[in-house]
Amino acid sequence: MILPVFAVYAQTLTGTSPGLLGLALGIYGLTQGLFQLPFGAISDRLGRKQVIAAGLVVFIIGSIIAALSSSIEGVILGRALQGIGAVGSTIMALVADLTRVEHRTRAMAILGVSIGFTFTLAMILGPLLNAWISVPGIFGSRR
């Protein structure tokens, strides 16, 4: 949701440079990618729902940190935690666990389409929400 408006918003943060702006945008995907396999293994042992719940808590903490931060470094930390807390692959594993083999392809397709639709909707709503509640509001705070 923040992608279309983040570059403009980041100029209001202390310490912003082009490199740190890129890091703030990219750190989410990097940490998400790094933690997917370990979280998958942990969810095999502890259960999907527990890992999903823990991931959502980490994601919320990251959102709060990013929303309340007045520096680019704080936003980078918040975005890193959001990426760590993103549990998409664990949700896919849960869907696979909960569906019979003959329905699994359809369930995964519905999940994939939902993710794509949500991403597209976020690109449209991001600028609208920014005009209404600003980027900190998108993160969950009205700083």
Is residue 88 within 8 Å of residue 105, measured between CB atoms?
A: no
CA distance 126 to 97: 33
What proportion of the chain, given as a percentage, has pLDDT over 70? 91
Does 72 score more than 90 pLDDT?
Answer: yes
Confidence at 128, pLDDT banded by 50, 70, 90: confident
Q: What is the pLDDT of residue 104?
A: 94
Take residue 54 and report the two structure tokens written for it. Answer: 């823990």
- pTM of this prediction? 0.80
Half-sphere exposure of 36 (CA within 13 A, CB side): 10
Domain boundaries of the chain, sorted by first residue: 6-139
**Per-residue pLDDT reduced to its tens digit, 21-67:** 999 999 999 999 999 999 989 999 999 999 999 999 999 999 999 98
Average pLDDT of the residues in 2-28: 86
DSSP 3-state of 94: helix
**Per-residue pLDDT reduced to its tens digit, 89-122:** 899 899 999 999 999 999 999 999 998 998 898 8
Q: What is the pLDDT of residue 118?
A: 87
Q: What is the pLDDT of residue 44?
A: 94
Q: What is the pLDDT of residue 137?
A: 58
Residue 100 burial (10 A CB sphere; 0-12, 13-18, 19+): exposed
